[in-house]
């Protein structure tokens, strides 16, 4: 799964500290808004690589695409807020969606890699930051 770390500017941290008890709610809204931007790009990329460039007709059932989603916002042991994009487990046949996604992303012997997560991360970064900033400003102005 792709990871991204964002260092927050000091003025942003000051605004957050002034919000008091609403900080948690606003941080969750920001992460969800940014996560939705990246999720839509990942879904788009996944749809475009499944079944493309294969010798044989695709046997895709759409199960992998339906399993893609956002986690709940969680706070880790260091107090950092996290949201993840990933795949719900398991498939109807008992295999792992994460394993199948990994094979598509990185390839395997006899199967060329078709990255969809890493390009989504790179191409949606600036839009994600924009959406998170606008969500933050909207929430601060409503407070």
pLDDT tens-digit series, residues 99-126:
889 988 998 888 888 999 999 999 999 9
pLDDT confidence tier of residue 91, bands split at 50, 70 and 90: confident
Distance of CA 131 to the CA centre of its chain: 14
pTM above 0.85, yes or no: no
pLDDT tens-digit series, residues 11-34:
777 776 667 778 788 889 999 999
Distance of CA 118 to the CA centre of its chain: 10
Burial 72-88 (b: 16+ CB within 10 A, else e): ebeeeeeeeeebebbbe
Q: Work out the average pLDDT over 51-60.
A: 69
Cα separation, 85 vs 137, whole angstroms: 24
Is residue 40 a contact partner of residue 69, using CB atoms and an 8 Å limit? no
């Amino acid at each position: 799964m792709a990871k991204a770390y964002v260092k927050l500017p000091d003025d942003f941290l000051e605004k957050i500290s002034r919000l008091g008890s609403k900080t948690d709610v606003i941080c969750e809204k920001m992460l969800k808004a940014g996560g939705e931007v990246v999720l839509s790009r990942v879904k788009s990329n996944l749809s475009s690589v499944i079944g493309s460039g294969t010798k044989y007709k695709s046997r895709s059932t759409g199960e992998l695409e339906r399993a893609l989603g956002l986690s709940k916002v969680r706070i880790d042991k260091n107090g950092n807020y996290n949201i993840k994009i990933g795949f719900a487990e398991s498939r109807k046949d008992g295999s792992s969606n994460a394993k199948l996604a990994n094979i598509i992303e990185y390839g395997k012997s006899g199967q060329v890699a078709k990255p969809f997560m890493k390009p989504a991360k790179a191409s949606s970064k600036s839009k994600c930051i924009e959406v998170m900033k606008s969500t933050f400003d909207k929430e601060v102005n409503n407070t």
